[in-house]
A and B are shown apart, each in its own frame.
Chain A
Amino acid sequence: MTFLNLALLGGLAAFAVPILIHLFHKSRFRVVKWGAMHLLEEVLRTNRRRVKIEQWILLALRAAIPAVLALCMARPIWTGVQQLLGTAKTSTLILLDDSYSMDASRAGTSNFSLARDEAARLLNELPRGSDAQVVLLGQGGATLLDQPTYDLARLTQAVGRVSASAGVARVPAAFDAAAGILGQMHEPSRQIILISDFQRVSFEATEDALLGQTIERLRHLPVAPQITFWDVGGEVRDNVAVESLDFSRLMIGVGQKIQIYATVRNFGEASYPDLRLYFKVDGKEKAVSQVKLGAGERTQVLFSHAFETAGSHVIEVFADADPLKADNSFLATIPVRDKLPVLLINGDPHPDPLKGETDFLEIALQPYGSGGRVELADLIKTTVLSPERLTAQAVAESAVVILANVRKLSDEQVRALEEFVRNGGGLLIFPGNRIDAGWYESALARDGAGLLPMSYGALAGDLKEGGPVTGVVSQRYENPALELFNDPRNGSLAGAQIRMWFRLQELGGAGTRELTTLARLESGDAFLVEKSFGEGRVIACALPCDADWSDLPTRPFYLPLMQRLSVYLASTVFPPRNLDVGKPIVALLNANDAGKSAGLTLPDGTSTELPVVKKGTRGVVEFTRTQQPGLYTLLPPGGSPLHYVVNASRRESDLAKLTATEIADLAKTHGAALVRSGDEFKQLDRSRRFGMEFWRPLLWAVLALLFAEMLLQQRFARAGGRI
Chain B
Amino acid sequence: MAHVSDFLTPADLQKISSLQIVAKQVVEGFCSGMHRSPHKGFSVEFKQHRQYVPGDEIRHIDWRVFGRSDRFYIREYEEETNLRATLLLDLSGSMNYAGASGVTKYQYATRLAACLSYLMVSQQDSVGLVTFDTKIRKYIPPRSRVSHLRVLIDELQRSEPAGETELGDVFHDLVPKLHRRGLLIILSDCFGNVPTLLKALAHFRHAHHEILIFQIWDRDELEFPFKQWTQFESLEQPAHKHLLDPALLREAYLRNLEAFRNELVRGCRRHKIDLVPFTTDQPYADALSAYVSRRRVRG
CB distance from A719 to the nearest CB of B (A): 8
Cβ-defined contact, A35 with B105, below 8 A: yes
* CB contact list, A26-75 vs B, under 8 A: 26, 28-44, 46-47, 51, 54-55
Query: What chain A residues lie within 8 Å of B245 (beta carbons)?
Result: 51, 55
- Please tell me which one of the listed residues A29, A31, A34, A42 contacts residue B256 in the complex, with CB atoms under 8 A apart: A42
Choose among A31, A39, A44, A718 the residue with the greatest number of B CB atoms under 10 Å from its CB: A39
Closest A residue to B161 using CB positions: A35
* CB contact list, B237-251 vs A, under 8 A: 237, 240, 242-245, 247-251
* Residue-wise interface mask of A (684-723) relative to B, using a CB-CB cutoff of 8 A (1 in contact, 0 not): 0000000000000000000000000000000011111111
Closest A residue to B254 using CB positions: A721
Cβ-defined contact, A26 with B229, below 8 A: yes
In the complex the two chains form, what is the Cα distance from A245 to B257 in whole Å?
97
- Please tell me which one of the listed residues B191, B233, B256 contacts residue A33 in the complex, with CB atoms under 8 A apart: B233
Choose among A29, A54, A55 the residue with the greatest number of B CB atoms under 10 Å from its CB: A29
A–B pairs, 12, beta carbons within 8 Å:
A26-B243, A34-B234, A34-B235, A35-B191, A37-B232, A37-B236, A43-B256, A51-B248, A717-B247, A720-B250, A720-B251, A722-B255
Query: What chain B residues lie within 8 Å of A42 (beta carbons)?
Result: 256
Closest B residue to A31 using CB positions: B231
Cβ-defined contact, B97 with A35, below 8 A: yes
Choose among A32, A35, A40, A721 the residue with the greatest number of B CB atoms under 10 Å from its CB: A35
Cβ-defined contact, A30 with B228, below 8 A: yes
Tell me if A464 counts as interface (CB < 8 A to partner B).
Answer: no
In the complex the two chains form, what is the Cα distance from A29 to B227 in whole Å?
10
Cβ-defined contact, B252 with A720, below 8 A: yes
Cβ-defined contact, B230 with A31, below 8 A: yes
Cβ-defined contact, A39 with B257, below 8 A: yes
Majority secondary structure, A binding face: helix
Tell me if A513 counts as interface (CB < 8 A to partner B).
Answer: no
Cβ-defined contact, A36 with B221, below 8 A: yes
Q: Choose, from B88-96, B170-178, B195-203, B288-296, the stretch at the interface.
A: B88-96
- Please tell me which one of the listed residues B93, B248, B253 contacts residue A40 in the complex, with CB atoms under 8 A apart: B253
CB distance from A55 to the nearest CB of B (A): 7
Cβ-defined contact, A36 with B233, below 8 A: no
In the complex the two chains form, what is the Cα distance from A47 to B255 in whole Å?
12
Query: What chain B residues lie within 8 Å of A30 (beta carbons)?
Result: 228-231
Cβ-defined contact, B243 with A29, below 8 A: yes
Cβ-defined contact, B249 with A51, below 8 A: yes
Tell me if A220 counts as interface (CB < 8 A to partner B).
Answer: no
Closest B residue to A34 using CB positions: B232
In the complex the two chains form, what is the Cα distance from A31 to B228 in whole Å?
10
Query: What chain B residues lie within 8 Å of A55 (beta carbons)?
Result: 245, 248
Query: What chain A residues lie within 8 Å of B231 (beta carbons)?
Result: 29-32
In the complex the two chains form, what is the Cα distance from A37 to B105 in whole Å?
15
Tell me if B28 counts as interface (CB < 8 A to partner A).
Answer: no
Query: What chain A residues lie within 8 Å of B235 (beta carbons)?
Result: 33-35, 37
Tell me if A25 counts as interface (CB < 8 A to partner B).
Answer: yes
Cβ-defined contact, B250 with A29, below 8 A: no
Query: What chain B residues lie within 8 Å of A39 (beta carbons)?
Result: 191, 221, 253, 256-257, 260
CB distance from A375 to the nearest CB of B (A): 109
Cβ-defined contact, B96 with A723, below 8 A: no
Cβ-defined contact, B240 with A720, below 8 A: no
Closest B residue to A26 using CB positions: B229
Cβ-defined contact, A720 with B94, below 8 A: no
CB distance from B102 to the nearest CB of A (A): 14
* Residue-wise interface mask of B (204-244) relative to A, using a CB-CB cutoff of 8 A (1 in contact, 0 not): 00000000000000100100001011111111110010111
CB distance from A489 to the nearest CB of B (A): 103
Binding site for B on A (CB under 8 A): 25-26, 28-44, 46-47, 51, 54-55, 716-723
Query: What chain A residues lie within 8 Å of B38 (beta carbons)?
Result: none
- Please tell me which one of the listed residues B192, B240, B251 contacts residue A721 in the complex, with CB atoms under 8 A apart: B251
CB distance from A30 to the nearest CB of B (A): 5
In the complex the two chains form, what is the Cα distance from A394 to B212 in whole Å?
140
In the complex the two chains form, what is the Cα distance from A26 to B248 in whole Å?
14
In the complex the two chains form, what is the Cα distance from A28 to B227 in whole Å?
13
Query: What chain A residues lie within 8 Å of B221 (beta carbons)?
Result: 35-36, 39
Cβ-defined contact, B228 with A36, below 8 A: no
Closest A residue to B237 using CB positions: A37
CB distance from B34 to the nearest CB of A (A): 38
In the complex the two chains form, what is the Cα distance from A624 to B230 in whole Å?
92
Query: What chain A residues lie within 8 Å of B80 (beta carbons)?
Result: none
Tell me if B76 counts as interface (CB < 8 A to partner A).
Answer: no
Tell me if B189 counts as interface (CB < 8 A to partner A).
Answer: yes
Closest A residue to B241 using CB positions: A31
Choose among A33, A34, A42, A47 the residue with the greatest number of B CB atoms under 10 Å from its CB: A34
Closest A residue to B221 using CB positions: A36
Query: What chain B residues lie within 8 Å of A51 (beta carbons)?
Result: 244-245, 248-249
Give me the 10 closest cross-chain CB pairs, A-B, nearest first.
A35-B94, A35-B97, A720-B252, A721-B251, A29-B229, A34-B232, A37-B234, A720-B251, A43-B252, A721-B255
Query: What chain B residues lie within 8 Å of A723 (beta carbons)?
Result: 252, 255-256, 259
- Please tell me which one of the listed residues A25, A38, A47, A716 contacts residue B191 in the complex, with CB atoms under 8 A apart: A38
Query: What chain A residues lie within 8 Å of B232 (beta carbons)?
Result: 32, 34, 37, 40
In the complex the two chains form, what is the Cα distance from A40 to B243 in whole Å?
11
In the complex the two chains form, what is the Cα distance from A51 to B94 in whole Å?
26
- Please tell me which one of the listed residues B218, B229, B257 contacts residue A28 in the complex, with CB atoms under 8 A apart: B229
In the complex the two chains form, what is the Cα distance from A321 to B108 in whole Å?
100
Using A36-B97, A43-B252, A51-B244 as known contacts, list a sample of 16 further A-B pairs with CB atoms less than 8 Å apart, ordered by residue number in A: A25-B228, A25-B229, A29-B230, A32-B226, A32-B233, A35-B235, A36-B191, A36-B257, A37-B232, A37-B237, A39-B253, A41-B240, A44-B244, A716-B248, A718-B251, A722-B252
* Residue-wise interface mask of B (67-95) relative to A, using a CB-CB cutoff of 8 A (1 in contact, 0 not): 00000000000000000000000000111
CB distance from A20 to the nearest CB of B (A): 14
In the complex the two chains form, what is the Cα distance from A35 to B222 in whole Å?
12
Query: What chain B residues lie within 8 Å of A41 (beta carbons)?
Result: 240, 242
CB distance from A48 to the nearest CB of B (A): 9
Cβ-defined contact, B189 with A35, below 8 A: yes
Query: What chain A residues lie within 8 Å of B255 (beta carbons)?
Result: 721-723
Query: What chain B residues lie within 8 Å of A718 (beta carbons)?
Result: 251
Query: What chain A residues lie within 8 Å of B260 (beta carbons)?
Result: 39
In the complex the two chains form, what is the Cα distance from A32 to B99 in whole Å?
9
CB distance from B88 to the nearest CB of A (A): 18
Closest B residue to A58 using CB positions: B248
CB distance from B278 to the nearest CB of A (A): 15
In the complex the two chains form, what is the Cα distance from A305 to B218 in whole Å?
113
CB distance from A162 to the nearest CB of B (A): 72
In the complex the two chains form, what is the Cα distance from A47 to B256 in whole Å?
12
Closest A residue to B260 using CB positions: A39
CB distance from A560 to the nearest CB of B (A): 106
Query: What chain A residues lie within 8 Å of B228 (beta carbons)?
Result: 25, 28-30
Query: What chain A residues lie within 8 Å of B248 (beta carbons)?
Result: 51, 54-55, 716-717, 720
CB distance from A721 to the nearest CB of B (A): 4
In the complex the two chains form, what is the Cα distance from A723 to B244 in whole Å?
17
* CB contact list, B251-285 vs A, under 8 A: 251-257, 259-260
Query: What chain B residues lie within 8 Å of A720 (beta carbons)?
Result: 248-252
Choose among A30, A40, A42 the residue with the greatest number of B CB atoms under 10 Å from its CB: A40
CB distance from A383 to the nearest CB of B (A): 115
CB distance from A58 to the nearest CB of B (A): 9
In the complex the two chains form, what is the Cα distance from A219 to B130 in whole Å?
95
Closest A residue to B242 using CB positions: A44
Cβ-defined contact, B95 with A35, below 8 A: yes
CB distance from A352 to the nearest CB of B (A): 128
Cβ-defined contact, A37 with B252, below 8 A: no
Closest B residue to A48 using CB positions: B244
Query: What chain A residues lie within 8 Å of B257 (beta carbons)?
Result: 36, 39
In the complex the two chains form, what is the Cα distance from A723 to B249 in whole Å?
11
Cβ-defined contact, A37 with B94, below 8 A: yes
Cβ-defined contact, B252 with A34, below 8 A: no
Cβ-defined contact, A43 with B253, below 8 A: yes
Given contacts A33-B97, A35-B93, A37-B240, contact A717 B256 (CB under 8 A): no
Query: What chain A residues lie within 8 Å of B230 (beta carbons)?
Result: 29-32
